[in-house]
Structure 1
Amino acid sequence: MNIISSLATFVKNMYNAGLNQRNLVTLPFNFMLNFAPVFIWLSIFKHAGLIPIEIRPNIHSKFAFFADQFLFGDYWHELTVQLPDNTYKLFFWSFVSSFAFLLVFLICLPLAIWYYIYYVKHVNYNLLEWFANIFHYPRQRNQRPIHKKFRTIFIPFALPLFTFVVLNIDHFFAYQSDANFTKTKDLLAWFSYVILHLTAPILTAVYLYVFQPPGTLKCFGFALGLQNIAGVFTHLFIPMASPWFTHLYGINDTEHVNYTQEGFAAGLTRVDSHLGTHLNTKGFHMSPIVFGAVPSLHSAIAFQCFLFLISRSTSLKHRFASRENSTMNSNDFSTFKLSEEDSEDDADNNGVSMMGPNDLEMEPLSSVEPVDLLNERSSSPSSSLTVSSNERSASNSSRDVTNNNRNKKPLQFIRLYHEDMDFTNKWVFKIVNDGFVPKFWAILYIILQWWATMYLDHHYRFDLFVGVLYAVGSFIIINWFVLQPKVLKNWIHLRLGDKVDTRNEARTFGMRVFCGTKMEWFFDPLA
C-alpha cells in the first residue's frame, strides 16, 4: 500500500506541477505557442512540393562539393575521382585553402573578436551568459578573470575551431568504401540519424523543463524553429546537391539536376537491407526537397541541443546546504550587480526590461547568503542590486574591485528548501553534481550525429558546418533578446525575493514535483 500511495502522490505532484495554475485547455495552447516556429517549419517543408517548378531557382549541384573539398581538405581524394585532370594541383590547393580557412576564419578572426570585446572594449561579463557567475562558477577563492574562463572562450569563440576539428575526425571514420561499411556501423548510424534526430530534441526539452527556470524550454523551441525556418528557406532559394548525388551521378552530371529528381536514401538503403524493410528508401523517395543539402538541419538541430545542454547545465551544488554553515558560503563569489536604471524598472515589478552591455556589469563582488523562506522579500533588494554610475570604471585592477566590494551588500537568495547533507553527499549524487552528465551526452551526441550523417553519405562537412552556423546564429538571437533579459534575469529576481512569486515560478518543474522532499535540491539550478 505504501508503494501505491507513494506512486499516487508522485503522479498527483506531476499533474499539479505540470499545470502550475493552468488548466487542461490553456496547457496545450501554451505548448503549441512555445513550439509554433517548429510547426511552421514542418508545414513549409511538407508543402514545398506545391511550389511550381517554373518559378524555382537554379540548382547548384557542384557548389557544396567544391566548398567541402577546398574548405576542409580532400582527405578522400574525391577530386581525383571526379576531376582526373590536374589531380595533383587540385589536391595540393585543397589543403592550402583549407589551412587558410582554418587559420584566418576559425582561429584568427574569433580570437580578434574576443580580444576586441574583452581587452579593447573592456567588457567584464560573459557576453552570452550574463549570469554565468551565478549559475556556473563554484565556490573558489581565486578565480580567473571572466574573459579567460573556458566557458567564456568556448561559446562562441572556440566553437568554429571545435567544429572543424571534430568534423574532420568524423570524416576520417566515415570513409565511403565497402571495406568501411559494416552492419554494426550501419545500424549505429541509422539509430543516430533517424531515431536520435527525432528523440534528442524531445529529451533536451524534457531536461530543460525539469531542471531549468520556467521559460527556458520556450527559448529552446523558438531557437529550433528560427534556425529551421531559415534553413528551409535557404533550401528553397539556394538548392544544392548532397554527396550521394555526386557519388551516384558524378560532378558533371546535368541530366538529373532538376526538380523531378527523386530523393535517395543513400547509406540508409543498407539499413533497409539489414532490417528487411523499405521504409527509409520509400521515405526519401517522397522527400519534397531533394536538393536541400545546405544547411544540414540534422546538424543544426543536434547542435542546438548541444548548445542548450552545454550552456544551461550548472555545476553548483550544496550552496544552500546549511544556514549555520556560513563558512561554506563565505567563498562563494556568485553575485551580480545591475545598473541603477535597470533596478528602478525592476522595483516597479512591471516586468523585466531589455538590457545590453552598457546596462549590465558582471564581476565577483561578495558572498552569497541564503535567507529563510519566511523572508520572501529582502528588506532592501534594490540596495544590493543597484550600482551608481560613478562606481563604474574601465579599470580591471584588483584594487578597484576590492574597494567596490567593501560597499556592496551580498545578494541573498531565498532558500526554498532544507538540504540534508547526509543524503546529498552520497556517492551517487557526486556523479552529477558538476553538471557532467548533460555535457557528456551533448558532446557524444553531436560527434555521433556528424559521423552518422557523413557515413550514410547524406551531407558534406560543409553542409554540417553551415548547419552549425545557423544553430549558433539562432541561439545568439534568442539568448540575447529573450533568454538572458527576460527569462533568467526575471527568475533570479524571483529567487532574490525582489518580485512577488504569484505564479509559483521560483521553482523549476522538478522542484515543484519534489517540493518538501529530500530531492528538491537536486532540481535547483542554484543549488
Structure 2
Amino acid sequence: MIVVTITKELINLLIRIVKSGLNKRNILTLPLNFFLNFLPVIIWLSIFHYASMIPIDIRPTIHSKIAFISDAFMFGDWFGELQKQYHDSYQLTKISYLTALAFVTICLLIIPLSLWYYIYHIRKIRFNIWEWYDHVFHFENKKNSRRIRLIVLPFLLPFLAFIILNFDHIFSSQNEENFTKTKDLIAWFSYVILHVTVPILTAVYLYVFHPAGTIKCFSFALGLQNICGVFTHLLFPTASPWFTHMYGINDTDHVNYTQEGFAAGLVRVDTHLGTHLNTNGFHLSPIVFGAVPSLHSAIAFQCFLFIMTRASSFKHRFATNDSPATSNRLRTNGNKTTVEESDSNDEDEINSKTSTDNNTNILTSNSSNMSDLADSEDDEDYYYNNDSEDIEQNNDKEVPHLLNLYIDDATFTNKWYFKIFNTGLVAKVLICSFILLQWWATMYLDHHYRFDLFIGLLYSMISFTIINNLILQPKVLKPWLDLRFGKIPDDDNEARTMGMRVFKGTKIEWFFDPLAYTKKIKVKRKKK
C-alpha cells in the first residue's frame, strides 16, 4: 500500500509539473519556446564548434604576451613571474606592485565611487539603476542612498573581485609542492562538472522561484556575453598561462594556429583517474588561443549576478495584521487598488514571533515604512522606475496591496529553519562559494590568468546590465509586480511562479513566492 501511495503521489506531482509548465500553452509550441529562449546560447556553442573551419590565412595575429603582462602589472607579480621570464627583471616585479596599487585605487575605487556619488547625490537619481525594485525585494528604506547594497551593486563589484582573485592567486602557485591529488580533483570538479551544472541549476532556480521570463533573461545574458567572448577570442587571440609556462614568453615557434590545445593541470587529473578524456578533449579544442576573456569566469559570474539580484532578502515582509475572518477585501478600480476593511472584534495576536514586525508592515496605511511603496511627498508609484506612474493616495483607504493569492499557515512558515530561506541566504552563500572555488580552480589548473578572469567578469556585468535594463526590469519584473499588486488582471495565471503553480493550495506554496504573503494569526481575547 505504501508503494502504491507513493507512486500515485509521484504521478500526480508529475502531472502538476507538466500542467504548470504549460500554463495554458500548447504542448506543440513548448519546444519552440524553449529553442527561442536559449537561442543565444545555441548560437554561441555553434560559433565555438565551427571556429576551426575559419581559414588560417584570414585569421588575425596571435598576441601571446598581452595577458601575461597585463596580469602582472594590473594585479601584481606575486610569484616573480616577470623575473623568471625576463631573467634580469627584478625591478619590474617591484614596479608591478605600484602599477597594481594605482590600478585598484584609480580604476576600481575612485572612478566607481565618483560615478556612484554623481548618480545618487549630484543627479539625485531616486531608484537603483541596477535593481529598480530593490525596495520591494531587498530593502525597506529606499531613500537611504548610502546603503551597502546600492554601492556594491554594481560599483564595487570589480574591486571586491580584485581582492578575491588575489586571495585565490595565493593558493594557485604552479610549484610542484603545491599540487596534491585532493586539490587536483577538487579543481577538476569545479572547472569541469560545476562549470556545466551550476548554470543549469541557476536556470532551474530562476524558473521555479521567480517570475516568468526571468530564465529567458538569464539565457539571453549568458548568450550575449559568450557570443561577444568567442568573437573576442577569434578577433584578438591571446595565450593562456600554460603556454607561457611551457614555451616561455619569448617563444614564436608555437604561436600559430596549428598549435594543439593543452589540458594543463587537468593532465594530472587524467593520471589520477586513469583516463585521457581531458587531454584528448583539449587537444581537439577549436580555439586554442582564447584566454581573454575567460568564459568560465563570465558564466560563473553571470550566475552570481542573477542569484544575488533575484534572491529576495525580505520574504514575508508583506504580512497583514488581520485574521482570516477579518481580512482586508481587495477591490480593483482601473489602476487603483482599494482596500475595504471589514469590521472586527477586539483581538490579540497569539503569534508574536512572526517574521514581519508591525513597524515594518508595508500593507497597512499606518505603517512607518509606507515610503517603501509610496512616497507621500512626491506622490510616486509604490515601486520605482524611471517612467513610473502615479497612484492616488486617500489617507488609509487607497494603498498598494499585495494580492492575496493564498493564505499560509504562519505557525508553519515562521519556523526557525525557514528563516535562512526567507532571506535568500542559502542561494547567495552557495553561489559566492562557487565563484571563490571556480576562480581558484581555473588558476590552479593553469588555464587562465587573473586578468582573463577579471575581463570575463566585466563581460558578464556589461551583458547583465544590457539585458537587465532592456528586458528584465521593464518587461518582466514591472508587469509581474503590476499583477501582484492588482494593477492589471492576471488572465494568464502569471502572478504565480512555476513552483507556486505546482504546489498551489498546499502548505508550501508560499515557499516558492519571492514576496511571500502571509497572515498573522489572531484570536478573540478571552474575558476573565
Could you tell me the TM-score, scaled by structure 2's length?
Answer: 0.85
Q: 1:196 aligns with which of 168, 183, 194?
A: 194
Corresponding position of 2:429: 440
Please tell me whether residue 205 in structure 1 is matched to residue 203 in structure 2: yes
**Deviation of the 1:19 alpha carbon:** 1.1
SS in 2 for 1:117: helix
Query: Match for 2:125: what amino acid?
Result: V
Q: 1:497 aligns with which of 467, 477, 486?
A: 486
Query: Match for 1:449: what amino acid?
Result: Q
Corresponding position of 1:131: 133
Which ranges of 4 or more aligned residues in structure 1 deviate by more than 6 Å? Answer: 404-408
Corresponding position of 1:27: 30
Query: Deviation digits for residues 354-402 of structure 1, max 9, x if unmatched?
Result: x996524xxxxxxxxxxxxxxxxxxxxxxxx5169xxxxxxxxxxxxxx
Q: 2:412 aligns with which of 423, 426, 436?
A: 423
Say if 1:73 and 1:95, in contact at 8 Å, map to a contact too. yes
Say if 1:17 and 1:509, in contact at 8 Å, map to a contact too. yes
Q: Distance in 1 between matches of 2:397 and 2:61?
A: 63
SS in 2 for 1:66: helix
Query: Deviation digits for residues 398-457 of structure 1, max 9, x if unmatched?
Result: xxxxxx996994211111000101111222212211110111011000110000000000
Say if 1:321 and 1:419, in contact at 8 Å, map to a contact too. no
Corresponding position of 1:483: 472
Q: Distance in 1 between matches of 2:504 and 2:152?
A: 35
Q: Distance in 2 between matches of 1:510 and 1:387?
A: 31
Say if 2:135 and 2:142, in contact at 8 Å, map to a contact too. no
**Deviation of the 1:321 alpha carbon:** 4.6
**1:267-346 maps to which residues of 2 (within 5 A)?**
267-322=265-320, 324=322, 327=358, 329=361, 330-333=367-370, 334-336=372-374
Corresponding position of 2:57: 54
Q: Give the direction of change, closer, same or farther, for the CA distance of 1:65–1:42 in structure 2 (3 Å limit).
A: same
Q: Distance in 2 between matches of 1:407 and 1:122?
A: 29
**Deviation of the 1:323 alpha carbon:** 5.2
Say if 2:291 and 2:452, in contact at 8 Å, map to a contact too. yes
Corresponding position of 1:375: none
Query: Match for 1:456: what amino acid?
Result: L
**Deviation of the 1:230 alpha carbon:** 0.3
Query: Deviation digits for residues 138-195 of structure 1, max 9, x if unmatched?
Result: 5xxxx47432112211111010111100000000011111100000000000000000
Say if 1:131 and 1:336, in contact at 8 Å, map to a contact too. no
Query: Match for 2:35: what amino acid?
Result: M
**1:43-192 maps to which residues of 2 (within 5 A)?**
43-85=46-88, 87-137=89-139, 143=141, 145-192=143-190
Q: Give the direction of change, closer, same or farther, for the CA distance of 1:477–1:415 in structure 2 (3 Å limit).
A: same
Structure 2: 5+ residue runs without aligned partners?
Answer: 328-357, 362-366, 517-528
Structure 1 or 2: larger helix share? 1
Query: Match for 1:187: what amino acid?
Result: L
Q: 1:463 aligns with which of 421, 441, 452?
A: 452
Say if 2:127 and 2:384, in contact at 8 Å, map to a contact too. no
Q: Distance in 2 between matches of 1:289 and 1:64?
A: 16
Please tell me whether residue 222 in structure 1 is matched to residue 220 in structure 2: yes
Say if 2:127 and 2:142, in contact at 8 Å, map to a contact too. no
Corresponding position of 2:342: none
Say if 1:320 and 1:415, in contact at 8 Å, map to a contact too. no
Q: Distance in 1 between matches of 2:461 and 2:80?
A: 31
**Deviation of the 1:317 alpha carbon:** 2.4
Could you tell me the TM-score, scaled by structure 1's length?
Answer: 0.86
Query: Match for 2:23: what amino acid?
Result: N
Q: Give the direction of change, closer, same or farther, for the CA distance of 1:199–1:488 in structure 2 (3 Å limit).
A: same
Q: How many residues align?
A: 470
Say if 1:146 and 1:152, in contact at 8 Å, map to a contact too. no
Say if 1:295 and 1:466, in contact at 8 Å, map to a contact too. yes
Q: Distance in 1 between matches of 2:257 and 2:394?
A: 66
Q: Distance in 2 between matches of 1:93 and 1:231?
A: 31
Q: Give the direction of change, closer, same or farther, for the CA distance of 1:101–1:250 in structure 2 (3 Å limit).
A: same
Corresponding position of 2:345: none
Q: Give the direction of change, closer, same or farther, for the CA distance of 1:336–1:127 in structure 2 (3 Å limit).
A: farther
Say if 2:132 and 2:384, in contact at 8 Å, map to a contact too. no
Query: Deviation digits for residues 223-260 of structure 1, max 9, x if unmatched?
Result: 00000000000000000000000000000000000000
SS in 1 for 2:145: helix
Corresponding position of 2:506: 517
Say if 2:173 and 2:444, in contact at 8 Å, map to a contact too. yes
SS in 2 for 1:359: coil
Corresponding position of 1:245: 243
Query: Match for 1:121: what amino acid?
Result: R
Q: Distance in 2 between matches of 1:144 and 1:16?
A: 38
Q: Give the direction of change, closer, same or farther, for the CA distance of 1:241–1:194 in structure 2 (3 Å limit).
A: same
Query: Deviation digits for residues 27-68 of structure 1, max 9, x if unmatched?
Result: 111111111000000000000000000000000000000000
Say if 2:82 and 2:90, in contact at 8 Å, map to a contact too. no
Corresponding position of 2:400: 411
Query: Match for 1:150: what amino acid?
Result: I
Q: Give the direction of change, closer, same or farther, for the CA distance of 1:386–1:58 in structure 2 (3 Å limit).
A: same
Query: Match for 2:253: what amino acid?
Result: E
Corresponding position of 1:261: 259
Q: Distance in 2 between matches of 1:332 and 1:183?
A: 55
Structure 1: 5+ residue runs without aligned partners?
Answer: 344-354, 361-384, 389-403
Corresponding position of 1:359: 387
Q: Give the direction of change, closer, same or farther, for the CA distance of 1:93–1:408 in structure 2 (3 Å limit).
A: farther
Q: 2:19 aligns with which of 16, 19, 29?
A: 16
State the Cα RMSD in Å: 2.2
Say if 1:454 and 1:461, in contact at 8 Å, map to a contact too. yes
**Deviation of the 1:316 alpha carbon:** 1.9
Q: Distance in 1 between matches of 2:514 and 2:96?
A: 47
Q: Give the direction of change, closer, same or farther, for the CA distance of 1:513–1:81 in structure 2 (3 Å limit).
A: same
Query: Match for 1:56: what amino acid?
Result: R
Say if 2:208 and 2:497, in contact at 8 Å, map to a contact too. yes
**Deviation of the 1:4 alpha carbon:** 3.2
Query: Match for 1:234: what amino acid?
Result: T
Say if 2:208 and 2:499, in contact at 8 Å, map to a contact too. yes
